[in-house]
Structure 1
Amino acid sequence: MSHDKQVALVTGGNRGIGYELVKHLALKGFKVILASRDPEMGHEAAQKLIDSNLDVSFVEMDVDNQESINQAAITVNKRFGRLDVLVNNAGVYLDKNEKLLAMDLGILEKTMATNFFGVYHVIRSFIPLMEKQGYGRIINVSSEYGAMSEMSYPGVGAYKLSKFALNGLTRLVASEINGDIKINAVDPGWVSSDMGGQSAPITPKQAAESILWLATIGPEGPNGGFFRDGDQIDW
């Protein structure tokens, strides 16, 4: 690999865990692309980090929109010519605690569109940049709600299914990729963010740290695994 700085991209990077991931990757010496679908919030978040002398730039990307993802990939290729780390962090949690078969179908469709298809399209669009140099680290921010055992209990069905599918995608892609490209899923735990609410025990900073080790694993590191706090957990 060339001596240039490694490039990392984080989706949903303007707040919560995403923002902390951007910050910590930049502190580790990465050039970081903060991707967000909201240009105003995205620019503002990136500028805050740039003002702290961190190497951060903003790219607009709506993971629910394939054209937006394609455009972002073209922009990253033009601007940086490489991508070393991809963190799929953008996600939604829209469930009320109702039964899957009784819920408004739009909730399930919207959840799958963002949490599953969004990640699928992002990986598909950006992996050629990794294949070009035969190196890449992909981290899918999942949830313990995506574990098979959680399917035995009612409630939060749309979110659970979306993360269950994301975990399956992680394993399938791991089986298909060649070269030193690795993909893993990680459960950050219950995080105090807009999504997790204020009573959650884990800070976004702690969550970021429990995720980021997967960004710098060596060639002998895990591929197609599911982790919490650095330990492998059951699918």
Structure 2
Amino acid sequence: MTATEEQTPVALVTGAARGLGREVCRQLADRGLRVLLAARDRAAADEAATDLGGGVRPLPVALDVTDPGSVAAAAATISRDPGRLDVLVNNAAAFVDWSETASGADLDRAREVLETNLLGTWRVTQALLPLLSASPAPRVVNVSSGAGSHGDDAFGLRARDGRAASYGVSKAALNALTATLATELAGTPVLVNAVCPGLTATYPGAEAMGARPVEESARGVVWAATLPDDGPRGGFFRDGRPLPW
């Protein structure tokens, strides 16, 4: 590794083999960061990183955010090579289906959503915080959703007739985690924020619901990942603008 490479910021993006995470990797690499692309499926991560080319490489171990052993192995791997971490994008997420309601939810499936969207993000952040804390400009971005907000008129907690219940609850909890962690780290250089990428064309039929291209949605995540040192802390944003909680 050259001296220049050693000084180049390193970003890790979870759940990045496809969709939004993959595009975030591409855009971060375009900004000159060294990007580690992580996914539960190691082969899928390898393929995505190969397709993206320079600036992006796969994390050499699979990363399942719901598995403490997997998270610990990933943290140990990053500690060895590249030996630093400056940006963490917690993008890995789970969903049941649009028809799920709180009264009728299968709680085993709901638990899986919470395990990924809330506890998985929490687990990965805890494991990597020692590395991030050694960075001169550490950033943590939790990819959230307007589904976890009272103020999103289209898809918020009061706007979808109680559907997609576990997803909305998990994202509301993720916003709470973001604010709590940001408050704890207020006296440090670590900036922690949540970002709603907006309805994004990452699944079949999304375009019919008005979803926008993944390239557009990824920009707000990249904005939060590259904030200046005096940037916001503990906020919830879409496209760089604050969202109500």
TM-score by length of 1: 0.93
Q: Are residue 85 (structure 1) and residue 87 (structure 2) matched?
A: yes
- In structure 1, the partner of 2:45 is 42
Aligned-partner Cα distance in 2 for 1:9–1:157: 29
Q: CA RMSD in A?
A: 1.6
Tell me what 1:76 maps to: 78
1:172 aligns with 2:175: no
2:194 pairs with one of 185, 196, 205: 185
- The answer to whether structure 1 residue 161 and structure 2 residue 175 are counterparts is no
* Worse-superposed segment, 130-139 or 8-17: 130-139
Unaligned runs of 5+ in 2: none
- The answer on whether the counterparts of 1:95 and 1:107 sit within 8 Å (CA) in structure 2 is no
Measured in 2, the distance between the counterparts of 1:63 and 1:27 equals 26
Q: Which residue of 2 aligns with 1:58?
A: 58
Alignment partners' CA distance in 1, 2:225 and 2:167: 25
Q: Which runs of 5+ in 1 are unaligned?
A: none
Q: Any idea what SS the aligned residue of 2:162 has?
A: coil
The residue number in structure 1 matching 2:23 is 20
Residues 7 and 85 of structure 1 are in contact (CA less than 8 Å); yes or no, is this contact kept in structure 2? yes
Deviation, 1:210, is: 2.0
Would you say the 8 A contact 1:145–1:159 is kept in 2? yes
Offset at 1:132?
2.1
Contact 1:95/1:158 (<8 A) preserved = no
Deviations 1:11-31 (A, max 9, x none): 011100100000111111000
SS at match of 2:227: coil
Structure 1, 193-202 or 81-90: larger mean CA deviation:
193-202
Task: Write out per-residue CA displacement over residues 13-66 of structure 1, whole angstroms, 9 at most, x where no aligned residue.
Answer: 11001000001111110000000001111110011122xxx1211122011111
> 1:97 maps to which residue?
99
The 1-side partners of 2:215 and 2:166 are apart by: 27
Measured after TM superposition, the shift of residue 215 of structure 1 is 1.5
Structure 2 counterpart of 1:132: 134
**Of residues 215, 218, 223 in structure 1, which corresponds to 2:225?**
215
Residue 64 of structure 1 aligns to a residue in which SS? coil
Take 2:100 and 2:219, find their aligned partners in 1: how far apart are those partners?
A: 33
Q: Give, in angstroms, the shift of residue 92 of structure 1.
A: 1.2
CA 1:36–1:88: 2 relative to 1, 3 Å: same
Q: Which residue of 2 aligns with 1:119?
A: 121
CA distance in 2, matches of 1:181, 1:129: 11
Q: 1:8 aligns with which of 3, 6, 11?
A: 11
2:197 match: secondary structure: coil
Percent identity of paired positions between Structure 1 and Structure 2: 37
- 1:64-104 alpha-carbon deviations (Å, 9 max, x no partner): 11110110011011001111111011101113413212211
- The equivalent position to 2:238 in structure 1, one of 216, 228, 231, is 228
Partner amino acid for 2:58? F
CA contact (8 A) 1:135 1:179 kept: no
Deviation of the 1:226 alpha carbon: 0.4
Report the 3-state secondary structure (helix = DSSP H, G, I; strand = E; otherwise coil) of the residue aligned with 1:135.
coil
Task: Give the match's secondary structure for 2:167.
Answer: helix
How far apart, CA to CA, are the structure 2 residues paired with 1:99 and 1:139? 28
CA gap of 1:86–1:208, structure 2 versus 1, over 3 A, is: same
